Structures are given as C-alpha cells and as structure tokens.
Structure 1
Amino acid sequence: MKKTTSLKMDILGISSAGLCLLHCLIFPLLSILPLGLSHNPYIDLAFATVGLWAVLNIIKKASLIVVVLLLTSITLILLSAFIDIFLDYHTNLLIVGGIGMILGHLINYSNHKNTH
C-alpha cells in the first residue's frame, strides 16, 4: 500500500512541479502580449502547497539524497513565493526549485521502479 501511495505522490509532485515550471517559463512570454494578464504570486503559492503535500508524504520513505533535494527545492519555491507576495519581487529561485523538485521526484520514482 505504501509503495502505491508513494508512487502516486511522485507522479503528483512531478506533475505539479512540471506545470509550475511551465507556468514560470511561459507566463513572461504571455505578459508581453496585450491580453491584460498580470502575474499572480498566489498561483505560485498554490503550486507550492501541492508540492509541499507531495514532499511531506514522500520524505518518510525516501533516500537521503531525495529528501535533501526535495526539501531544499520546496524551500526555494516557498521562499520565492513569499518574496513575491510580500516584497513584490520575482526571483529565479522558483525556477531552480521547480527543476530540483522534478529531479527529486524523478530520482525517487526511478528508485521505486528499480527496487520493485
């Protein structure tokens, strides 16, 4: 049962981090177009919340490198979201954290596939 739950959390984490990264890379291009779109840091915070939930469920059974990578990445994402909300400054920590989240979940997912 735990194996299935952890695999689902990895898939959720990869999907969430991938969508977040896509949002972060494509949104600046969309803001150039005169569509009236503006950046909303609460979207970043929503992605971070989903990612945090997946990370907290995965770190219980993950290897040390995966735990360090995921916790560091989610910390960077949350820090970037809070800096954006409170200081109105958009940092690249979000992109670095998103890439780290994807890598951490992929490593954990491949560890499960190799183990079982």
Structure 2
Amino acid sequence: MKKTTSSFYDILGISSASICLIHCLIFPILTILPLGISHNPIIDLVFASIGLFAILKITKKSNLLVSSILIVSMCLIWISILTDIFLEIHLDLIYFGGIGMITGHLINYKFHRKQKH
C-alpha cells in the first residue's frame, strides 16, 4: 500500500512540476503578444504549494539523494516566487527548481518501481 501511495505523490509532483515548468517557459512569450495577459505570481504559488505537499509526503520515505534534490529544488522555487511577490524581481531559479523537482520525482518513482519488481 505504501508503494502505491508514494507513486501517487510522485506522479502528482511530476505533473505539477511539469505544468509549472511549461507555464514558466511559455508565459513570457504570451506576455509579448497583445492579449492583455499579465504575470500573476499567485499561479506560481499554487503550483509550488502542490509540489510542497507532494515532497512532504515523499521525503519521509525516500532516500537521502531524492530528499536532497527535492528540498533544494523546492527552496529554489520558493525563493524565486517570494522574490517575485515581494520585490517584483523575476529570478531564473524557478526553472532550475522545476527541473530539479521533475528529476527528483522521476528518480524516486523509478526507485520505487524497481523495488516493486
């Protein structure tokens, strides 16, 4: 049962981080177009909250490498989002954090699948 639950959180984390990364990469292009769309860091905050929920569940049961990757990546994402909200400075740390989140969740997912077989 624990393996299934961990896989669920890995899939949730991979999905959230992938959608967030796509959002962060495509959104600057959309702001160039005259569509009247403006950047809202609250959307980033929603993605980060989902990711934080997933890594809190995963880091309790994962190895040191996966936990470290996920925690460092989440810190990079939160630093970037909070800097954007409070200082209105856009940092590229969010991209590295998103890639790290996807990588950490994939490693953890593959590790649990390997244990299952």
**In the TM superposition, what is the alpha-carbon distance from 1:30 to its structure 2 partner?**
0.6
Q: What are the equivalent positions in structure 2 for 1:1-116 lying under 5 Å apart?
A: 1-116=1-116
SS state at 1:34 partner? coil
Q: Determine the C-alpha separation between the residues in 2 that align with 1:53 and 1:74.
A: 11
Instruction: Detail structure 1 runs of 4+ shifted over 3 Å in the superposition.
Output: none
Q: Determine the C-alpha separation between the residues in 2 that align with 1:45 and 1:90.
A: 14
> Given residue 2 of structure 1, which amino acid in structure 2 is its aligned partner?
K
Q: Determine the C-alpha separation between the residues in 1 that align with 2:62 and 2:2.
A: 12
Q: Determine the C-alpha separation between the residues in 2 that align with 1:28 and 1:113.
A: 36
Q: Determine the C-alpha separation between the residues in 2 that align with 1:45 and 1:80.
A: 10
Structure 2, gaps ≥5 residues long: none
Structure 1, gaps ≥5 residues long: none
Number of residues of Structure 1 aligned to a counterpart in Structure 2: 116
Q: Determine the C-alpha separation between the residues in 1 that align with 2:94 and 2:39.
A: 14
Q: Determine the C-alpha separation between the residues in 1 that align with 2:2 and 2:75.
A: 25
**In the TM superposition, what is the alpha-carbon distance from 1:2 to its structure 2 partner?**
1.2
Aligned residues with identical type, % of pairs: 60
Q: Determine the C-alpha separation between the residues in 2 that align with 1:89 and 1:46.
A: 19
Q: Determine the C-alpha separation between the residues in 1 that align with 2:29 and 2:88.
A: 19
Q: Determine the C-alpha separation between the residues in 1 that align with 2:31 and 2:39.
A: 8
Query: Deviation per CA, 1:37-61, whole angstroms, max 9, x where unpaired?
Result: 0000111111000000000000011
What TM-score does the superposition give when structure 1 sets the normalisation length?
Answer: 0.99
